[in-house]
Amino acid sequence: MRNPNSTVQVKVERLTLELAPRFERLYICFNATVQGFKAGCRPIICLDCCFLNGYYGGQLLAVVGQDGNQHFYVIALAVVDHENNEVWKRFVSELLEDIGDYRDSGWNFMSDRQKGLALALHELCPDAPHRNYVLQIWRNFAENFKNHNMTRQLWKYTRSSTMAVFEKNMRVMRVKNETAYNWLKSSKDDPLQATNTNADCFLLSYIQTTSKEATCTNFNSSNNF
Note the Cα 208 to chain centre separation in Å: 15
- State whether the Cα torsion 94-49-65-189 is positive or negative: negative
Q: Could you report the per-residue pLDDT of 35-62, keeping only the tens digit for each?
A: 999 998 989 999 999 999 988 899 999 9
Q: How is residue 5 annotated by DSSP? A: T
User: Distance between CA atoms of 7 and 80, rounded to whole angstroms?
Assistant: 16
User: Distance between CA atoms of 204 and 201, rounded to whole angstroms?
Assistant: 8
- Each domain of the chain, given as residue ranges in start order, spans 1-129, 133-206
Cα torsion 210, 98, 125, 187 to 10°: value is 80
User: Distance between CA atoms of 68 and 56, rounded to whole angstroms?
Assistant: 37
Q: Could you report the per-residue pLDDT of 174-214, keeping only the tens digit for each?
A: 999 999 888 887 754 333 343 334 444 444 444 444 433 33
pLDDT of residue 67: 85
Which range of 25-39, 129-143, 168-182 scores highest in mean pLDDT? It is: 25-39
User: Distance between CA atoms of 119 and 89, rounded to whole angstroms?
Assistant: 8
The whole model's pTM is what? 0.74
- The HSE-up count of residue 114 (CA atoms within 13 Å, CB side) is 31
The better pLDDT of the pair 134, 222 is held by 134
- How much of the chain, in percent, has pLDDT values that exceed 70? 82
Pick the range with the lowest mean pLDDT from 14-23, 25-34, 119-128, 195-204: 195-204
User: Distance between CA atoms of 74 and 126, rounded to whole angstroms?
Assistant: 24
Q: How is residue 93 annotated by DSSP? A: H
Spatial neighbors of 32 by CB under 8 A, at least 6 apart, are 3, 6
